[in-house]
């Protein structure tokens, strides 16, 4: 049994609880990629070259999440779909 943090209703023990993300912040991830390039040069054989690439990717980091009842969770999901 728990209390829904959104509507403050007591949820019966049989009901499942849902985690709802209420706050998130942008996060920049750094991805390191090592690429190996093989150059074929006639008469001189092959030459391997390693290239290091640092890629920046933006994502979201969860800052705060609350425990909500199924009703609130579905409501929130529906409102997110509209946007």
Strands (E), the chain: 2-3, 10-11, 18-41, 45-68
Q: Any residues with CB less than 8 A from the CB of 14 and at least 6 apart, and which?
A: none
Asked if 7 interacts with Zn ion (CB under 5 A), we say yes
By beta-carbon proximity to Zn ion, the closer residue of 12 and 42 is 12
Asked if 4 interacts with Zn ion (CB under 5 A), we say yes
**Which window, 19-27, 29-37, 50-58, 70-78, contacts Zn ion (CB under 5 A)?**
70-78
Query: How far apart, in whole angstroms, are the C-alpha atoms of residue 32 and residue 28?
Result: 13
The binder of Zn ion chosen from 12, 69, 78, 79 (CB under 5 A): 69
């Amino acid at each position: 049994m728990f209390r829904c943090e959104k509507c403050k209703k007591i949820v019966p023990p049989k009901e499942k609880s849902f985690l709802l993300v209420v706050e998130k912040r942008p996060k920049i991830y750094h991805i390191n990629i090592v690429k190996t390039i093989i150059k074929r040069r006639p008469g001189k054989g092959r030459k391997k070259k390693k290239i290091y690439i640092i890629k920046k990717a933006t994502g979201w980091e969860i800052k705060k999440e609350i425990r909500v009842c199924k009703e609130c969770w579905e409501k929130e999901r529906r409102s997110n779909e509209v946007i």
